Amino acid sequence: MAILVNKESRVICQGITGKNGTFHSLACRDYGTNMVGGVTPGKQGEYVDGIPVFNTVWAAVKETGANVSLIFVPAAHAMDPILEAVDAGIEVIVCITEGIPPLDTACALHTVREEGRRLIGPNTPGVISPPERCKVGIMPGYIHKPGPVGVISRSGTLTYEVVDQLTKAGVGQSTCIGLGGDPVVGMSFVDVLKLFKDDPATEAVVLIGEIGGAAEEQAAKYIKQEFNKPVVAYIAGRLAPPGKRMGHAGAIISGGTGTAQEKIRALSEAGATVIDNLTQVGAVMQKILG
Amino acid sequence: MAILVNKESRVICQGITGKNGTFHSLACRDYGTNMVGGVTPGKQGEYVDGIPVFNTVWAAVKETGANVSLIFVPAAHAMDPILEAVDAGIEVIVCITEGIPPLDTACALHTVREEGRRLIGPNTPGVISPPERCKVGIMPGYIHKPGPVGVISRSGTLTYEVVDQLTKAGVGQSTCIGLGGDPVVGMSFVDVLKLFKDDPATEAVVLIGEIGGAAEEQAAKYIKQEFNKPVVAYIAGRLAPPGKRMGHAGAIISGGTGTAQEKIRALSEAGATVIDNLTQVGAVMQKILG
Amino acid sequence: MNLHEYQAKDLLAARGVAIPRGAVCYEPLEAVITARHLKSEVVVLKAQAHSGGRGKAGGVAIVSREDDIRARAAAIIGKRLVTRQTGAQGLPVAAILVEEVLPVDQELYLGVILDRNTARVTIMASPAGGMEIETLAREHPDKIFTVSVHPFIGLKPYQARGLAYRLTDDRNIAGEIVKVITTLYEIFVGYDCTLTEINPLVITGDRVVALDAKVNIDDHALFRHPEMGRLRDRTQEDLLELSARKEGLSYIKLDGNIGCIVNGAGLAMATLDLIALHHGAPANFLDVGGGASEQAIADAMSILLEDKRVKAVFINIFGGILRCDVLARGVIKALNRYGARLPVIARIEGTNIDIGKQLFEDSGLPIQMIPSLDEAAKLAVEAAQAA
Amino acid sequence: MNLHEYQAKDLLAARGVAIPRGAVCYEPLEAVITARHLKSEVVVLKAQAHSGGRGKAGGVAIVSREDDIRARAAAIIGKRLVTRQTGAQGLPVAAILVEEVLPVDQELYLGVILDRNTARVTIMASPAGGMEIETLAREHPDKIFTVSVHPFIGLKPYQARGLAYRLTDDRNIAGEIVKVITTLYEIFVGYDCTLTEINPLVITGDRVVALDAKVNIDDHALFRHPEMGRLRDRTQEDLLELSARKEGLSYIKLDGNIGCIVNGAGLAMATLDLIALHHGAPANFLDVGGGASEQAIADAMSILLEDKRVKAVFINIFGGILRCDVLARGVIKALNRYGARLPVIARIEGTNIDIGKQLFEDSGLPIQMIPSLDEAAKLAVEAAQAA
């Protein structure tokens, strides 16, 4: 078992005929993902290396039974495909697009939540479950290895770094999720922790946070009150100056809140093992799992 | 017991300092209604014959524990007070105002339903429960009499006519509800029938329909499938020409649907006693109740 | 309130929807000149009147270059158009729309309404345009596709796209249809319409063109669209209905001879039904409303008394907000002015009933007060038949 | 992107919100003339720079008619303003806003933000204006009132009214505040802001006036507000940061001497932290992003090589979308252009790692490749200290 996606997932790609859409749809399929279709208006009847293209998500769902969607569309129009996916009944929506205006994300997210669906991202590498050979995202599949550790992160390459350490230390992963680097994203640390809690395939969790917002503090509160598996945490951005946006739209310290120090304190108090040196995450987790 | 309102209801009036608001707030109180306050922005601290006025529904609810609101505000701005009432936690909203643009009502109704509240109207005489001495509306209280018959209607004076007949025939009423004469209204026949079904105080129901829409047909379907108490029905508008709006914004036959004949057939087939002659409703109900 | 076809098309064209080339013409000669300028082998002359079924009623003529366009136009302009919707007296036609005739590859249907059940704006589209939506709904319900618009979110591009790709597989045509759907929706919500419709929307080559259009606006929302109010064509409405509306009354002319005054639309409809049940024929529907003043009642009464067809007046009032004394004063005022030439049967009940009765009795006018509604209706029918 | 106070006030004033009379002045003499025209006993001179805390840093001067306004203005215009937010080098001040000083009955706070938790626009109001919202939140959390706006419904009048009546009991003042709240919200959503704020909004007699205003716009949404992009004042931004942004890079200058190139914001932040852990000091944050081209990498490298403070370069790349061979080519290109005057420590991993390594080796450039991230960081710190 895995959370969010698994080998039964029927995945489509919205924007499949674009350069990124095509490249990553095929990369996902190569990894093992059950890519059942793609959507590009006006291209119904075409195929992308054997993957059928539909005009609408509605048509794709009807013909393929899709329940997961990977979205690659320009930031200026990204709200519409998210709403289309929800309307067509897609359960898990992974939005890779970066640079979506946050008010658009907020609108789309309202509908996603109202309809009880899951949005991962935007501005995320996506989600991957190595034991299920299912990857819905843009992460390099080969660095992953099946195993018992869940990984949650707000960042892309930082996640790869940690996953690589885990794999090299012989520690595999159950599911790895990038929440996305924007100020407003779909799933939060707490949302994912709740899933990991009930996931028998996950024995421990790596939580990779960063400055900005209060998502890590909320995770700490949840870990303290409800979470029952070991958590190793790392928070990026201790050197960040207040008021400067550190690349990610979300990574900004404002008005003395959202600092790395606050997040580290909250997680430590919640019982998480907080690592100062990023390069030690793999080793520490290896030790914890014994 | 009664449905929707009862002697425990704590009622406020939005627009209480206006002419109609004042007149009917006092008339409701005279009938026995527990009028706990009113709302007119900028008039907090004033009193309308002893009823305290608040700036906002929020303040009124906080100070009085109100759970029912009677709305008298101009049609051009009626969406806002409905949403305000919902936001402040009011459970039953009675909107008397007529002439609200239907798209505004549709918007407000969406929020009312989303939040699980009840909207009666707009363009309704309101609701009255004689056994509870609770009247939230503009109907003449004195024609009513406590008893076992529930009355549901899309029309105002037509309801009074029927209630008057019932009372003169010695048949009292449990609760009488005007759904409102607009094309889009809050509660439907079916919504109210569901409440009457579970209401031990109601033994039989008078349903007063009219041309336009399909609410009576839906009521017929519900009566056939689920409703277990005698229903006496009357449908107004058999002479109405297609395409002409008969006073009520809702009363228009369009495209061959919404005719009185269709509604009468549906209700008869559902087992309701459909009366041709309006003036016989009281007598027929008297007979049914034996 | 309804717009004329040419007004509806103007709204569409101003927002970029293609319509046939053409112009509205008020004189036959204008039609001739317009037809010549169009440089089209065939042109269509369409009567501008607020009714469906214009074609079957002779209101639409397809004429070729060789035809006597002036005579064909003169046969429509200035005449009354009688369709199955207008009643025997028909509607005056002051103008015709003269348009090019386009080759048609496919006829589509697009319509926007407010669905009462869901309380949502609903967009209907069909690849089988040209026939009326009611016919379509009856005969080909599987060929009508709909999307329901969230009241706060509004129409999203994917919804319009979803409909467009049910009508065509062509990407460019679909893109054009998306624009038309979006425009039709925007007009609907922008002007608080009860209906916006393009039927047919035709595919002609690589273009989509609105061959006919309907825009009906909700009277209750006209206050926020004064520019639309100015498009109202009063010649298309009954004069009595117009003057009643000016007084805040709701009046509809019917074919009978019993003038009715009632308060409340439901009770008014029920009163007509009751008269019919006693084999009488009402001359009108007239709802004086809840808050009518003495003057409004007098005006309502005057409308009946001025109507030559009316042989008896039936007053049915259940006083609630409207008090019976106010009613009585208004009735007496009108009767005193016009003279009591007709039998008046009154059944009044409710608020201040005693004062109302007393006022009638004291007036010395020949008003018959009957407490039973059924009896009163019967008597009104008899009085009208006796006259 | 931030607007200047005067630009923010212009947006408010154009929508009917009252602001003090005054004008923006670029020369001391202009300030003197403006002050005279204002016919106010006392005027205020406010440095226009993108920083809070201008008052405490000497950027705001209240001057009376008798003062030497020209000298006071000259002390601000053309100087650099150093506040606790700007860092030691401060920000250039090209202009001052010269305004009348109004009698103040009460200072209020109004602010609009996007709440990350609820993903809703949230409006904050407080009767205790004048102090910063963070101070207010810490010291008087009970004096901040908020409403959360439904993303599709938008701000409704009752919500603005609800806030206004928490600030005042006066009906007219409340009405004015409702207008200001509505305007501030409309600017926020209309221009995709990250913050709109009026602090303080003052009650003066029967009016409410915005004494200060902040409007910050989300860079990600500037594409749909080109007219706002034109208001950007590039003098308020670091030159290197600006040129990096032009290349699609995300660069922030820091105070140390180790130049960093990383892909991904999270890994870039973590790299800075790692350097600090080894007692080094990074000269910058530089995220080349996921899809950087060879040229973008060369540009990023050039930015570091041109920075005189940089004593060593640390490259930390985890190739995903960005391939290690592309990276290597870009780095080599820049080093060949600028000469290899600095030690370069590279830790590369991920996609096409072997080609990347080979390219570095073949280049003959003195690039030290260290597989262990921890070791590499340590070495970079040592190299910078040795230089």
- B6 within a domain of the structure (yes/no): no
Handedness of CA A40, A43, A49, A51 (dihedral sign): positive
Whole-number Å distance between alpha carbons of D328 and D325: 5
Residue B1 in this model has a pLDDT that exceeds 70: no
CB atoms within 10 A of CB D366: 10
The token pair that represents B134 in the structure block: 């609770």
DSSP, collapsed to helix, strand or coil, labels residue D104 as coil
CATH number at residue D242: 3.40.50.261
Judge if C146 and C12 occupy the same domain. Answer: yes
List, as ranges, residues 41-70 from B with C-beta within 8 Å of C.
none
Residue-level pLDDT at A143: 95
Of A31, A103, A152, which to mutate for an interface test with D (greatest number of D Cβ within 10 Å)? A103
Quick check: D269 and A241 CB within 8 A?
A: no
Residue A254 confidence class, pLDDT cut points 50, 70, 90: low
> Look-up: residue for tokens 């520019």?
C227
Quick one: closest CA in C to B143, which residue? C350
Quick check: A251 and D269 CB within 8 A?
A: yes
Domain with D282 in it: 238-386
Of A118-122, B157-161, C248-252, D73-77, minimum mean pLDDT range:
C248-252
Judge if B116 and B186 occupy the same domain. Answer: no
Mean pLDDT score across all residues of chain B: 94
Residue B101 in this model has a pLDDT that exceeds 90: yes
Let me know if C345 is exposed, middle or buried by CB neighbors in 10 A (0-12, 13-18, 19+).
buried
In degrees to the nearest 10, what's the CA dihedral of B79, B82, B88, B93? 180
Give the one of B42, B80, B83 whose C-beta lies nearest to D174's C-beta: B42
Q: Cα-flanking dihedrals φ and ψ of residue A270, to 5°?
A: -80, -5
The token pair that represents C162 in the structure block: 């979803």
What DSSP line would sit under D319-354, residue for residue? ESSS-HHHHHHHHHHHHHHH-S-S-EEEEEEETTHH
Give B147's DSSP letter: E
Q: Are A95 and A125 in contact (CB under 8 A)?
A: no
Cβ contacts of D156 on chain B, cutoff 8 Å: 79-80, 83-84
Judge if C6 and C45 occupy the same domain. Answer: no
Judge if A280 and A206 occupy the same domain. Answer: yes
Residue-level pLDDT at B256: 63
What are the distances in angstroms from CA D69 to CA D20, D97, D214, D343? 18, 13, 26, 54
Judge if A59 and A158 occupy the same domain. Answer: no
What DSSP line would sit under C267-278, residue for residue? HHHHHHHHHHHT
Confirm whether C109 is a catalytic residue.
yes
Quick check: C162 and A56 CB within 8 A?
A: yes
Residue B242 in this model has a pLDDT that exceeds 90: no
CB atoms within 10 A of CB D128: 18
Sheet with B173-178, side-by-side order of all strands? B134-137, B126-129, B173-178, B146-153, B204-210, B231-236, B273-274
Among A73, A94, A120, identify where a domain stops.
A120
- B4 within a domain of the structure (yes/no): no
Whole-number Å distance between alpha carbons of B29 and B51: 10
- Percentage of residues of chain B with pLDDT beyond 90: 87
Q: Which residue has the higher pLDDT, A151 or C243?
A: A151
Q: Are D297 and D356 in contact (CB under 8 A)?
A: no
Chains in touch with C (3+ beta-carbon pairs under 8 Å) read: A, B, D
Whole-number Å distance between alpha carbons of C192 and C200: 22
- Catalytic residue ranges of B: 248
Judge if D223 and D74 occupy the same domain. Answer: no
Residue-level pLDDT at B255: 62
Whole-number Å distance between alpha carbons of D40 and D33: 12
Handedness of CA C360, C365, C366, C367 (dihedral sign): negative
A231-236 and A273-274 beta bridge pairing: parallel
Whole-number Å distance between alpha carbons of C264 and C317: 9
Judge if D36 and D147 occupy the same domain. Answer: no
Quick check: D158 and B83 CB within 8 A?
A: yes
Q: Are A85 and A110 in contact (CB under 8 A)?
A: no
Quick one: closest CA in B to D165, which residue? B55
Cβ contacts of D154 on chain C, cutoff 8 Å: 152
Let me know if A8 is exposed, middle or buried by CB neighbors in 10 A (0-12, 13-18, 19+).
exposed
Quick one: closest CA in C to D150, which residue? C152
Among B61, B86, B120, identify where a domain stops.
B120
Let me know if D206 is exposed, middle or buried by CB neighbors in 10 A (0-12, 13-18, 19+).
exposed
Q: Is B215 on the interface with C (CB under 8 A)?
A: yes
CA-angle at C12, arms to C10 and C16, nearest 5°: 110
Quick check: D269 and A153 CB within 8 A?
A: no
Cβ contacts of A257 on chain D, cutoff 8 Å: 134
- Quick: pLDDT tens for C103-124: 999 999 999 999 988 999 999 9
Judge if C335 and C186 occupy the same domain. Answer: no
CATH number at residue C83: 3.30.1490.20
Listed in sequence order, the residues at least 6 apart from B35 whose beta carbon sits closer than 8 Å to its beta carbon are: B11, B12, B13, B25, B26, B28, B29, B51
Low-confidence ranges of chain C (pLDDT < 70): none
A47: distance to nearest CA of chain D, Å?
Answer: 24
Residue-level pLDDT at A43: 96
Judge if A249 and A265 occupy the same domain. Answer: yes
Residue A117 in this model has a pLDDT that exceeds 80: yes
Residue-level pLDDT at D252: 87
Among A94, A120, A146, identify where a domain stops.
A120
What are the distances in angstroms from CA C51 to CA C55, C81, C83? 10, 9, 7
Residue B87 in this model has a pLDDT that exceeds 70: yes
Q: Which residue has the higher pLDDT, C240 or B62?
A: B62
Instruction: With residue C295 as reference, give the H or E element that holds it.
Output: helix C294-306
Residue A187 in this model has a pLDDT that exceeds 70: yes
Residue-level pLDDT at B169: 96
Handedness of CA B164, B166, B167, B170 (dihedral sign): positive
Mean pLDDT score across all residues of chain C: 92
C150: distance to nearest CA of chain D, Å?
Answer: 10
CATH number at residue B103: 3.40.50.720
How do the residues of chain C divide into helix, strand and coil, expressed in percent and rounded to 5? Answer: 40, 25, 35
What DSSP line would sit under A203-224, residue for residue? SEEEEEEESSSSHHHHHHHHHH
CATH number at residue A145: 3.40.50.261
Quick one: closest CA in C to A60, which residue? C162
Residue-level pLDDT at B30: 97
Q: Are C282 and C256 in contact (CB under 8 A)?
A: yes
Cβ contacts of C133 on chain B, cutoff 8 Å: 255
Q: What would the mean pLDDT of A114-123 be, rounded to a whole number?
A: 96
Judge if D223 and D136 occupy the same domain. Answer: yes
Residue-level pLDDT at A249: 67
> Which string of b and e fits C174-209 if b means at least 16 CB within 10 Å?
bbbbbbbbbbbbbbbbebbbbbbbbbbbbbeeeebb
**ipTM value of the model?**
0.89
Judge if C28 and C120 occupy the same domain. Answer: no
B72: distance to nearest CA of chain D, Å?
Answer: 15
Instruction: With residue C194 as reference, give the H or E element that holds it.
Output: strand C193-204
Give me the helices (H) in chain A, please. Answer: 19-31, 57-64, 79-87, 102-114, 157-168, 189-197, 215-225, 260-269, 281-289
Nearest to A119 by CA among A63, A70, A156: A70
Residue D320 in this model has a pLDDT that exceeds 70: yes
Judge if D67 and D125 occupy the same domain. Answer: no
Judge if D120 and D188 occupy the same domain. Answer: yes
What DSSP line would sit under D156-198, residue for residue? -HHHHHHHHHHH-S-HHHHHHHHHHHHHHHHHHHHTTEEEEEE
Quick check: C153 and D152 CB within 8 A?
A: yes
- Quick: pLDDT tens for C31-67: 999 999 998 889 999 999 998 888 888 899 999 978 8
Quick check: B215 and C116 CB within 8 A?
A: yes
Q: What would the mean pLDDT of B254-260 be, rounded to a whole number?
A: 77
Quick check: D156 and B83 CB within 8 A?
A: yes
Q: Is B114 on the interface with D (CB under 8 A)?
A: no
Judge if B226 and B144 occupy the same domain. Answer: yes
Residue A240 confidence class, pLDDT cut points 50, 70, 90: confident
Whole-number Å distance between alpha carbons of A232 and C234: 77
C120: distance to nearest CA of chain D, Å?
Answer: 15
Judge if A116 and A242 occupy the same domain. Answer: no
Confirm whether A24 is a catalytic residue.
no
Count structural domains, chain C: 3
Judge if D215 and D347 occupy the same domain. Answer: no
Residue B233 in this model has a pLDDT that exceeds 90: yes
Residue-level pLDDT at C131: 86
The token pair that represents C108 in the structure block: 């589509």
Q: Which residues of D touch C (CB under 8 A)?
A: 150, 152-154
Whole-number Å distance between alpha carbons of A45 and C51: 43
Residue-level pLDDT at D238: 76
Residue A253 confidence class, pLDDT cut points 50, 70, 90: low
- B200 within a domain of the structure (yes/no): yes
Q: Which residues of D touch B (CB under 8 A)?
A: 153, 156-159, 161-162, 165, 169-171, 174-175
Q: Is A243 on the interface with D (CB under 8 A)?
A: yes
Q: How many CB pairs under 8 A join A and D?
A: 173
Q: Are D107 and D132 in contact (CB under 8 A)?
A: no
Model's pTM, two decimal places? 0.91
Of A184-193, C78-87, D65-74, minimum mean pLDDT range:
C78-87
- A6 within a domain of the structure (yes/no): no
D214: distance to nearest CA of chain A, Å?
Answer: 15
How far from the centroid of its chain's Cα atoms is residue A216's Cα?
15
Whole-number Å distance between alpha carbons of B70 and B15: 9
Sheet with C42-47, side-by-side order of all strands? C22-25, C96-100, C42-47, C60-64
Of C290-294, D313-317, D359-363, minimum mean pLDDT range:
C290-294
Residue D155 in this model has a pLDDT that exceeds 90: yes
Q: Are A7 and A36 in contact (CB under 8 A)?
A: no
Residue A25 in this model has a pLDDT that exceeds 90: yes
Residue A147 confidence class, pLDDT cut points 50, 70, 90: very high
Whole-number Å distance between alpha carbons of A196 and A202: 6
Domain with A231 in it: 126-289
What are the distances in angstroms from CA B145 to CA B85, B128, B142, B212, C267? 30, 10, 8, 31, 21
Listed in sequence order, the residues at least 6 apart from C336 whose beta carbon sits closer than 8 Å to its beta carbon are: C363, C365
- B142 within a domain of the structure (yes/no): yes
Judge if B159 and B256 occupy the same domain. Answer: yes
Whole-number Å distance between alpha carbons of C15 and C22: 17
Of A55, A57, A93, which to mutate for an interface test with C (greatest number of C Cβ within 10 Å)? A55
Count structural domains, chain B: 2
Residue-level pLDDT at A237: 92
CATH number at residue D136: 3.30.470.20
Residue A247 in this model has a pLDDT that exceeds 90: no
Q: Which of D5, D6, D109, D191 is catalytic?
A: D109
Among C187, C219, C236, identify where a domain stops.
C236
> Look-up: residue for tokens 């819905």?
A136
Judge if C9 and C151 occupy the same domain. Answer: yes
- Quick: pLDDT tens for D174-214: 999 999 999 999 999 999 999 999 999 999 999 999 999 99
